[in-house]
């Protein structure tokens, strides 16, 4: 990487990390803390309050992506972070569950993922873009693991409102990173020229982009659905909930090393397609392994579950690094923000559907039914993704 590429990767990863830490800190404690507010005795309403973030983010990813194509990446990211900060303030001072839901919806309305990834694609070369995306993916994984450690402690010290107040500060810090640390945006047309209109025909009809959009939907639906059952499995294995980070954190850290050892060498040798399909196949195997571990008579140990989760995080991190890189390389430069906007829309819808469907499946069919559906969804993805070709020439 050049100095500019390293600066862009580090600064944009920091923006993602600050925003995602604020979001992840809420996840482990939201249901319990929200139930103490007026209206929080209705579990369905609590679930909607939690899921509204993903829904509004899905609705606004494309508008923010298109806005970044037309008016610039940095201004769009700053506006999105301001909206996210406003939502955090509303949630922090919410007197009841309704206002908490409004705050969550506003948080999701600051949908900057497409603008950030498009910015990173603008300032990195094709040959190092997967590595740059992996830095962002790794920062998100680390924030997830960190939140599992900090969330219970912060909830005990400052409560849910205090966590949202902290989230506000993290969003404002992200704005400072955009303004003073992130590199200047590259000029992609002559000064004073009008930016080209987004070519939606390419974005909506390209088979390779459609495969990637399906993939990110399945990946994040499966990811969120899994967590409707995995914590209970760890408890049954003898690990109390406050100690779950002892499994998650090492699994995430080791998976990042495995990802680096697998993905980057394979990409350099022209085997990006093979690495991608391997990661999808690994996701299928993880779901089948989890299904086997919840069968009657099975008594998985913490070590067994930790090993399966290590494989999951390895697969997840490889896909999180390679998929947005592929989208940015397949989309025309003038439609990069729109393409990544659609990609991130499907990602957010995956979160929303995974949470809603996962909860229903656990209630109606138990963990066994949940993992069967997850394995089936990942298998369909593997079949659909099989004809893919990496955008750069290689031996794959």
| Local confidence band at 246 (pLDDT 50, 70, 90 cut-offs) | confident
Higher pLDDT among residues 269 and 316, named by residue: 316
Confidence of residue 47 (pLDDT cuts 50, 70, 90): low
Residue 161 has pLDDT above 70, yes or no: yes
Domain 1-184: assigned CATH number: 1.20.1250.20
pLDDT at 395: 39
Instruction: Name the maximum alpha-carbon separation found in the chain.
Output: 70
**Residue with the two structure tokens 């399906």:** 214
How much is the average pLDDT of 166-179? 93
pLDDT band for position 394 (50/70/90)?
Answer: very low
Q: Which residues contact 193 (CB under 8 A, 6 or more apart)?
A: none
Q: Between these two residues, 138 and 238, which has the higher pLDDT value?
A: 238
In degrees, rounded to 5, the angle at the alpha carbon of residue 222 between the alpha carbons of residues 352 and 344 is 50
Do 323 and 381 form a contact (C-beta atoms < 8 A)? no
Q: What pLDDT, on the 0 to 100 scale, is given for residue 151?
A: 77
pLDDT at 217: 93
Q: How confident is the model at residue 200 (pLDDT cuts 50, 70, 90)?
A: low
pLDDT in tens, 51-95: 778 788 888 887 888 888 888 889 999 999 999 999 999 999 999
> Residue 85's pLDDT is what?
94
Query: Do residues 16 and 179 lie in contact, with contact meaning Cβ atoms separated by under 8 Å?
Result: no
CATH no. for 202-388:
1.20.1250.20
CA 272-333-55 angle, 5° bins = 80
Q: How far apart are CA 9 and CA 77, in angstroms?
A: 15
Orientation angle between helical segments 302-330 and 113-122, nearest 10 degrees: 60
Average of per-residue pLDDT across 203-218? 85
User: Same CATH topology for 1-184 and 202-388?
Assistant: yes
Please report where in the chains the tokens 């604020």 appear, as a residue: 22
User: What is the percent of the chain where pLDDT is above 70?
Assistant: 89
Task: Looking at mean pLDDT, say which of 186-190, 298-302, 325-329, 375-379 comes out highest.
Answer: 375-379
More confident residue, 391 or 341: 341
Higher-pLDDT residue of 69 and 282 is 282
Given a cut of 70, whether residue 195 has pLDDT beyond it is no
Tell me if 170 sits within 8 A of 84, measured CB to CB.
no
Report which of residues 325 and 391 the model is more confident about. Answer: 325
Residue-level pLDDT at 280: 95
User: Mean of the per-residue pLDDT values for the chain?
Assistant: 82
Q: pLDDT tens digits, residue range 300-340? A: 899 999 999 999 989 988 888 778 777 877 777 666 667 77
Q: How confident is the model at residue 393 (pLDDT cuts 50, 70, 90)?
A: very low
- CA angle (100, 340, 345) in 5-degree steps: 35
Residues ≥6 apart with Cβ < 8 Å to 379: 284
Query: Do 220 and 113 contact (CB within 8 A), yes or no?
Result: no
Instruction: Check residues 43 and 219 and name the one with the higher pLDDT.
Output: 219
Name the least confident of 70-74, 103-107, 238-242, 313-317: 238-242
C-alpha span between 372 and 376 (Å, rounded): 6
Taking 60 as the threshold, does the pLDDT of residue 150 lie above it?
yes
Whether pLDDT at 254 is above 60: yes
The domain spans of the chain are 1-184, 202-388
């Amino acid at each position: 990487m050049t100095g500019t590429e390293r600066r862009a990767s580090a600064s944009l990863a920091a923006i993602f990390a600050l925003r995602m830490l604020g979001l992840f800190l809420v996840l482990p404690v939201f249901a319990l803390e929200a139930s103490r507010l007026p209206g929080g005795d209705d579990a369905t309403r609590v679930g909607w309050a939690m899921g509204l973030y993903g829904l509004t983010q899905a609705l606004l990813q494309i508008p923010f992506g298109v806005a970044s194509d037309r008016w610039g990446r940095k201004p769009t990211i700053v506006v999105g972070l301001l909206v996210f900060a406003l939502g955090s303030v509303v949630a922090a001072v919410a007197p009841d569950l309704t206002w908490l839901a409004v705050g969550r919806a506003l948080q999701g309305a600051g949908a900057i993922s497409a603008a950030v990834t498009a910015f990173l694609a603008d300032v990195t070369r094709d040959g190092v873009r997967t590595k740059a995306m992996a830095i962002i993916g790794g920062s998100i994984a680390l924030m997830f693991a960190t939140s599992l450690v900090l969330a219970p402690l912060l909830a005990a010290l400052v409560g849910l409102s205090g966590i949202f107040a902290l989230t506000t500060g993290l969003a404002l810090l992200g704005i400072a990173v955009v303004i003073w640390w992130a590199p200047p945006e590259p000029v992609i047309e002559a000064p004073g020229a009008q930016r080209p209109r987004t070519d939606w025909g390419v974005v909506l009809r390209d088979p390779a982009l459609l495969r990637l959009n399906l993939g990110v939907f399945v990946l994040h639906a499966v990811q969120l659905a899994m967590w409707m059952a995995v914590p209970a499995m760890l408890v049954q294995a003898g690990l109390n909930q406050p100690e779950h980070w002892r499994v998650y954190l090492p699994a995430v850290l080791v998976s990042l090393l495995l990802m680096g050892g697998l993905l980057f060498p394979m990409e350099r040798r022209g085997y990006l397609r093979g690495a991608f399909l391997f990661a999808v196949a690994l996701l299928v195997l993880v779901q089948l392994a989890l299904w086997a571990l919840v069968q009657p008579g099975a008594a998985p140990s913490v070590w067994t579950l930790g090993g399966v989760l290590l494989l999951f995080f390895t697969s997840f991190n490889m896909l999180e690094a390679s998929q947005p890189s592929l989208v940015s390389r397949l989309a025309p430069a003038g439609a990069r923000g729109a393409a990544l906007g659609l990609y991130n829309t499907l990602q957010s819808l995956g979160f929303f559907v995974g949470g809603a469907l996962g909860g229903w499946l656990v209630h109606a069919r138990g963990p066994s039914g949940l993992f069967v559906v997850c394995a089936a969804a990942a298998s369909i993805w593997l079949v659909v993704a099989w004809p893919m070709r990496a955008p750069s020439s290689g031996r794959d």
